[in-house]
Amino acid sequence: MRIIKLTNDTKHNLLESLLKRSTNDYSEYEKVVADIISDVKERKEEAIFEYSLKFDKCITTKENFKVTREEIAFAYQEVDAHFIQVMKNAAANIYAYHEKQKRNSWFDTKEDGTILGQKIIPMQTVGVYVPGGKAVYPSTTLMNIIPARVAGVSNIVMTTPAGIDGKINPATLVAADIAGVDAIYRVGGAQAIAALAYGSEMIPKVDKIVGPGNIFVALAKRAVYGHVSIDSIAGPSEILVLADESATPRYVAADLLSQAEHDELASAILITTSEELAEKVSDEVARFVTVLERREIIQKSLDNYGYILVAPDMDSAIEATNEIASEHLEILTKNPFDTMTKIRNAGAIFLGEYSSEPLGDYYAGPNHVLPTNGTAKFFSPLNLDDYVKKSSVICYSREALEKVHEDIELFAREEGLTAHANSIHVRFEA
């Protein structure tokens, strides 16, 4: 991996490089996506089946569009029993973690008859997109469905593309069943997002769409946003390791490569105050790359977005870490909890040598759907709030309103909205 000194210039250049991975740089695909959405909106299943055949080489009909209970039962037979138990264990952790995020409606009452409050209501229907094809993501299936179930969403609909043989990966089906999905449809790509956003003959229109996907899925989610809600536009995976001389080079190298193997656009960054650690990590990375299965993807990822930055001191290292605002942040310092108190921007924070990033990906419980491309500065991980909505509650008695009606009328008149003022005034006419 390239080793460079951390300066204002190198930090600026790095941020510019990372931002180039944004979906805003794929405008040439926007018309294709817009046409697919428009077509599905108009012709529904007829268009969906045509696109599934065109893009996924999968023959889909109304008879096999929806996954049956028999298919799910057969999937359980195809998946290793031990892995099923592991998924159930992970699901229990995810469920327990998100249970702690629950918030209740509240009401505040005063003696003069004023009642103010907030009513929290789960969404009615949520659509979960799970990538398919060669990819297998039972972990993502659990992470997107379980919080919706905990939040109390009434109807959880999942879409995922099938293979050429028309089958969906059995581990994905088992994970969806463990998580508590209500219905699964074999459709992927922009056509799936369009079906969820506008509804079809068989797929209900949803209130919100969550889940990652390729560039066509990302652009489709962006296109339908506003008509339905979405979680976020997911970018390529990222990891940043913040370390001092106490870190173990082999651990650091292994953790950096855990994200570099995702795709050529993934970023893996080490920021350290130790030149010795930087050299040793670079050597360990080189050794790992020769033996790991996805070595070609890893090498391209490192060539494109792999960096080791040597900072003059820990304060400079932390400042750069906050500027980058990585999706995954590992802190491997002498006192990681103390270092964490100075971190403002990160999707998920992993503390200490035995809290490597895959722990969060699969098992610990916190959601692994995280903000990318610097958006951790203003976005949060997927959580229970993503599946509920809030309504303000306002109730004033005559006594309470009488105390403030002249103030409200003045406010309205100052804004030139006399009908607003009149709506209050008529209640206190002589």
- Whether the CA torsion 184, 188, 193, 197 is positive or negative: it is negative
Whose tokens are 């570099």? That residue is 260
* 327 is annotated as an active-site residue: yes
Q: H-type helices in 333-397, by residue range? A: 336-340, 357-362
Helix (H, G, I), strand (E, B) or coil at 351: strand
Phi-psi region of 342 (alpha: psi -120 to 50; beta: other; left: phi over 0): alpha
Q: Can you point out the beta strands (E) in 311-382?
A: 328-332, 348-351
Give the C-alpha separation, 361 to 315, whole Å: 29
Torsion of Cα atoms, 163 then 166 then 167 then 173, to 10°? 100
Surface-to-core class of residue 208, CB atoms within 10 Å of its CB (0-12 exposed, 13-18 middle, 19+ buried):
buried
* 16 is annotated as an active-site residue: no
∠ Cα 396 397 402 (to 5°): 95
Catalytic residue among 328, 357, 368, 409: 328
Whose tokens are 């506003």? That residue is 226
27 CB neighbour count, 10 Å cutoff: 9
Amino acid identity for residue 325 in this structure: A
> Which CA distances in Å does 308 have to 253, 285, 292, 302, 354?
11, 11, 20, 10, 21
> Which CA distances in Å does 187 have to 66, 197, 203?
9, 14, 11
Catalytic residue among 45, 238, 284, 327: 327
Q: H-type helices in 180-274, by residue range? A: 189-198, 215-224, 249-260
**Which residues are known catalytic residues?**
327-328
